[in-house]
Amino acid sequence: MANLDLFAAQAGEAALRERLDGLRAQLHTLAHQYYVLDAPTLPDAEYDRLFRELQAIEAAYPEWTTADSPTQRVGGKPLDQFATVRHAVPMLSIRTETDTESTGAQAFDARVRKELELLDTDAPVEYVAELKFDGLAINLRYEHGVLVQAATRGDGEYGEDVTQNIRTVGQIPLRISAVAIPAVLEVRGEVYMRRDDFEALNQKQRDRGEKTFVNPRNAAAGAVRQLDPGIAAQRPLSFYAYGVGEVAPQPVGSLFATHMALLQTLKSWGFPVAEQTRVVRGADELVAFHQSIGSTRDQLPFDIDGVVYKVNSLALQQRLGFVTREPRWAVAHKYPAQEQMTRVLAIDVQVGRTGKLTPVARLEPVFVGGTTVSNATLHNLFEVRKKDVRVGDLVIVRRAGDVIPEVVGRVANADAGGASGDVPRSPYVPNFRLPAQCPVCGSAVVREKGEANHRCVGGLFCSAQRKQAILHFAQRRAVEVEGLGDKLVEQLVDAHVIRTLPDLYRLGFTALASLERMADKSAQNIVDALEKSKQTTLPRFLFGLGIRHVGEATAKELVRHFGSLDAIMDASEEALLQVNDVGPIVAKSLRTFFDQAHNREVVEQLRACGIRWEEGAATSELPKPLAGMTFVLTGTLPTLGRDDAKDKIEAAGGKVSGSVSKKTSYVVAGSEAGSKLTKAQELGVAVLDEAALLEMLK
């Protein structure tokens, strides 16, 4: 402090401020060289000396401390909870190609060419091929070059503000020093943990006698979602950038012509981009990339669960648009699941949220697909019989889709007594059978015609279903009751404090505070969270009811179509089938659910407890100026995406077709219109531009 005072007295505050700015710039450069380029230019001791000098200046002049200072990577007070962030541009999911062979890449290329109306004689489509990291997606928001917010993906529309924790990641710039960057720039990428960092972290945990982490992804996700940034700073996290969100004031398409140009620019601005990223042309080069990465996958310093293909041209991306909420111009191509052998110790039965009975193999723990597996699904009774799995068998286990562990089958005809040999079965080991009564509540177990699964008919009477139904209802993507986790729900149900969903909202402070290990503050937090959750949206509420086959997207489509919950509950199967994304199975499931008196009673009781939402006009009640007309879309429209235009046409009663014929009423053509426009002109079909279409929609 005295030295700083002397420096300030001799040279003046202006010189000290200049020294401060110089230190920050130098430390930013050194951090980029160390964390991103892996090419440090100064010894650690010298870096530490410069860092301490900066800390001393900021301590003496706290008003000079800024959010992008290197000293702010570690610090900040622990949070009580994460704030919710609404993404300016939704973080949409990418379609997963389940065909893990080369034909998966070929199928994607064929779909793209078909959507672009390309002929076999046309040139190959250019793609960017990237790695699919096994980490946590993050959105980084920069304003005038300074990192102001970092948010998790969440449900794609809303995420969690994890800015304090993300500041601790050395590879993420706190400030972009490049010139001519957009005023608002959202960089999207993956926070992950390298395998060597993961092993070192687990070794520290073991040395301290603390619990080790299951896999790098869980360790990374847990670090990002730590309420105390000091703890997050102790976890070695890394980052790769792979795209952008909001860019303003210029749209991203006006700044870059291709996705690869975007990535190269992000790299020049200080963001790490995976060196394996390539520009490839056509299906053959997609296949070659998939095979090349697959053959070296185990040698990578981090986990991946596939590769990602994206159409390189941003103009073609816009032209291809989206289907539902997934881009047509991108796909995630998985690899075959990793497999290991282990032994079955027991076969138990789990009862799920919908009453489904699932045989689960309890295994000798085995490390497979990046995690230790001790339980694996056998799916249903018919799978158990087909695979002929019994207690004591040596089996092959894999992580299906690198996520859900499953038993592939027993190891047959192996040499007995070998390292992986199969011990001959005892004649007294029986075949597995499902119980006739639910192992949780004793209700009857039935199998619906045409279904492979057996289900408990106990409904909300079954405590296994009650617990899962309540947890499903209270999750973030549904009604969201903060703090209502597995252990608390288990306590409440097992103690018979709550038996149905409405019982949640009848909970009082006294009942909660009387629970074991429940402090007064925690009890009050739950009471407050329940009160807050009463204001929700109809799609969240509908999804939260846990109706079979009704996911988030389907719930949104139902609300858009009908407008109100009463209209949905009273709709016939025929009416339900008119909704986008609703087929016969979903329609029957909805009708079956709302035909049950106790389910309607639950809904009415929840309403009576004060749960509320806004309802709007049903699209089925809106004017239908385009009824009876058939439209074909071609080219890129000035403001409407193809899906947007289709939605507007269908909401107005029109039909959208993929091909032009004499029965076509209008072809809506934008820039770069293809053969459909030519065919319309040949057949004499009327052609509209976007402005004319919007005028008709009025």
pLDDT band, residue 149 (cuts 50/70/90): very high
Does 38 have pLDDT greater than 90?
no
* 478 belongs to a structural domain: yes
> Annotated catalytic, 132?
yes
SS3 content of the chain, % helix, strand, coil (to 5): 40, 20, 40
CATH number of 355's domain: 2.40.50.140
Classify strands 630-634 and 454-456 as parallel, antiparallel or unpaired.
unpaired
Residue 305's pLDDT is: 83
Contacts of 526 (CB under 8 A, 6+ apart): 481, 483, 484, 488, 507, 512
> Max Cα separation, the chain?
94
Domain count within the chain:
5
Query: Within this chain, do residues 318 and 174 fall inside the same structural domain, yes or no?
Result: yes
For residues 222 and 276, the model is more confident at 276
Residue where the block lists tokens 């002049």: 61
C-alpha angle 12/16/19, rounded to 5°? Answer: 145
* 473 belongs to a structural domain: yes
Q: What is the pLDDT of residues 190-241, one digit of tens each?
A: 999 998 998 899 888 877 777 777 678 888 888 888 888 888 888 899 999 9
Residue 3's pLDDT is: 57
Which three-class secondary structure state does DSSP give residue 561? Answer: helix
Query: Within this chain, do residues 308 and 212 fall inside the same structural domain, yes or no?
Result: yes
Residue 415's pLDDT is: 41
Distances (CA, A) of 204 to 170, 201, 209, 236, 472: 20, 5, 9, 12, 35
Query: Within this chain, do residues 330 and 346 fall inside the same structural domain, yes or no?
Result: no
Residue 54's pLDDT is: 85
In the chain, pLDDT over 70 holds for what percent of residues? 89
Does 418 have pLDDT greater than 60?
no
Q: For 156-250, where are the E strands, in sequence order?
A: 158-160, 184-192, 238-248
For residues 267 and 580, the model is more confident at 267
Query: Within this chain, do residues 573 and 639 fall inside the same structural domain, yes or no?
Result: no
Give the pLDDT mean for 577-596: 85
* 421 belongs to a structural domain: no
Query: Within this chain, do residues 387 and 511 fall inside the same structural domain, yes or no?
Result: no
Give the pLDDT mean for 275-290: 96
Phi-psi region of 46 (alpha: psi -120 to 50; beta: other; left: phi over 0): alpha
Distances (CA, A) of 691 to 324, 374, 450, 633: 24, 60, 50, 14
CATH number of 304's domain: 3.30.470.30
Give the pLDDT mean for 386-390: 88
pLDDT band, residue 124 (cuts 50/70/90): very high
Does 391 have pLDDT greater than 70?
yes
Chosen domain end from 410, 445, 471:
410
Give the pLDDT mean for 491-517: 88
CATH number of 666's domain: 3.40.50.10190
Q: Which of 77, 114, 132, 467 is catalytic?
A: 132
pLDDT band, residue 569 (cuts 50/70/90): very high
Chosen domain end from 583, 608, 633:
608
> Which of 351, 369, 128 has the alpha carbon at shortest distance from 260?
128
Domain that holds residue 26: 2-65
For residue 482, give both structure tokens. 């903060």
CATH number of 549's domain: 1.10.150.20
pLDDT band, residue 426 (cuts 50/70/90): low
Residue 33's pLDDT is: 67
Does 353 have pLDDT greater than 80?
no
Query: Within this chain, do residues 569 and 626 fall inside the same structural domain, yes or no?
Result: no
> Alpha-carbon distance 525 to 519, whole Å?
10
Query: Hey, which of 263-267, 455-459, 588-592 has the most confident mean pLDDT?
Result: 263-267
Lowest mean pLDDT among 172-181, 206-215, 245-254, 441-450: 206-215
Residue 414's pLDDT is: 45
pLDDT band, residue 2 (cuts 50/70/90): very low
Q: What is the pLDDT of residues 427-462, one digit of tens each?
A: 666 788 899 999 988 888 888 767 788 988 776 667
* 432 belongs to a structural domain: no
Query: Within this chain, do residues 319 and 232 fall inside the same structural domain, yes or no?
Result: yes
* 121 belongs to a structural domain: no
Residue 75's pLDDT is: 47
Tell me the pLDDT of the chain averaged across its residues.
85
Q: Are 639 and 690 in contact (CB under 8 A)?
A: yes
DSSP state of 35: I
> Alpha-carbon distance 458 to 296, whole Å?
50
Residue 581's pLDDT is: 75
* 443 belongs to a structural domain: no
Residue 422's pLDDT is: 46
For residues 647 and 253, the model is more confident at 253
Query: Within this chain, do residues 223 and 163 fall inside the same structural domain, yes or no?
Result: yes
For residues 341 and 149, the model is more confident at 149
Give the pLDDT mean for 44-71: 78
Residue 1's pLDDT is: 47
Please name the residue ranges forming H helices in 62-161: 102-115
Q: What is the pLDDT of residues 543-560, one digit of tens each?
A: 999 887 888 888 988 988
pLDDT band, residue 55 (cuts 50/70/90): confident
Query: Within this chain, do residues 146 and 199 fall inside the same structural domain, yes or no?
Result: yes
Residue where the block lists tokens 């199928």: 107
Which three-class secondary structure state does DSSP give residue 280? Answer: strand
pLDDT band, residue 620 (cuts 50/70/90): low
Chosen domain end from 389, 410, 431:
410
* 568 belongs to a structural domain: yes
Query: Within this chain, do residues 164 and 239 fall inside the same structural domain, yes or no?
Result: yes
pLDDT band, residue 48 (cuts 50/70/90): low
Residue 73's pLDDT is: 60
Residue 357's pLDDT is: 93
pLDDT band, residue 99 (cuts 50/70/90): confident
Q: Is the peptide bond before 249 cis (omega within 30 degrees of 0)?
A: yes
* 326 belongs to a structural domain: yes
Lowest mean pLDDT among 82-91, 142-151, 365-374: 365-374
Query: Within this chain, do residues 370 and 497 fall inside the same structural domain, yes or no?
Result: no
Give the pLDDT mean for 678-686: 91
Does 8 have pLDDT greater than 80?
no
CB environment 621-655: b (16+ within 10 A), e (fewer): eeeeebeebbbbbbbbbeebebbebbbbbebbbbb
CATH number of 49's domain: 1.10.287.610
Query: Hey, which of 73-77, 425-429, 592-596 has the most confident mean pLDDT?
Result: 592-596
Query: Within this chain, do residues 20 and 139 fall inside the same structural domain, yes or no?
Result: no
Does 425 have pLDDT greater than 70?
no
Cα 293 to chain centroid, rounded = 23
pLDDT band, residue 417 (cuts 50/70/90): very low
Give the pLDDT mean for 474-496: 89
Beta pairing partners, 280:
127
Query: Hey, which of 460-464, 515-519, 567-571 has the most confident mean pLDDT?
Result: 567-571
